[in-house]
Amino acid sequence: MAHEHRTPIAALAYFFIGVIWYFVDEEAKKDQFVRFHVHQGVAFLIAALIYSIVFQVVLAILSLIFGWVPVLGSTILLLVSLLGYVPLIFAILGVINALQGKEKELPVIGHWARSFKF
């Protein structure tokens, strides 16, 4: 694999530590593979932050609406709570792509990364 020495940075790009590593490591900045995954990672981190805020607001509203309904309310809140794992799934996809040496965009949000200029 051509990028084996930079794969850890690329894989960690989907977590804040990898983005910091990229900006500190001058060699990483020169590697197109690492840059691709850092761009994907930054797009992911921004989307995950927005998603988390919106998700928490929606979950709070649904708790107020359905929280008092004994079985149905609990079931609805449990099912909606599972959507909280969506960012984790995206992060896992990005890490897997990086570890496999692939430059594959994340679904839905990956195209945003093309506009980054760092």
Which backbone phi and psi does 39 adopt, to 5 degrees?
-60, -45
Start-to-end C-alpha separation, the chain? 25
Q: Spell out the domain ranges in the chain.
A: 4-104
DSSP annotation of 105 reads P
Q: Tens of pLDDT along the chain (118 residues)? A: 455 668 899 999 999 999 999 999 998 899 999 999 999 999 999 999 999 999 999 999 988 988 788 888 888 888 989 999 999 999 999 999 999 999 999 999 999 999 998 8
C-alpha to C-alpha distance for 108 and 61, rounded to whole angstroms: 26
pTM for this prediction: 0.86
| CB-based contact 34:22 (threshold 8 Å) | yes
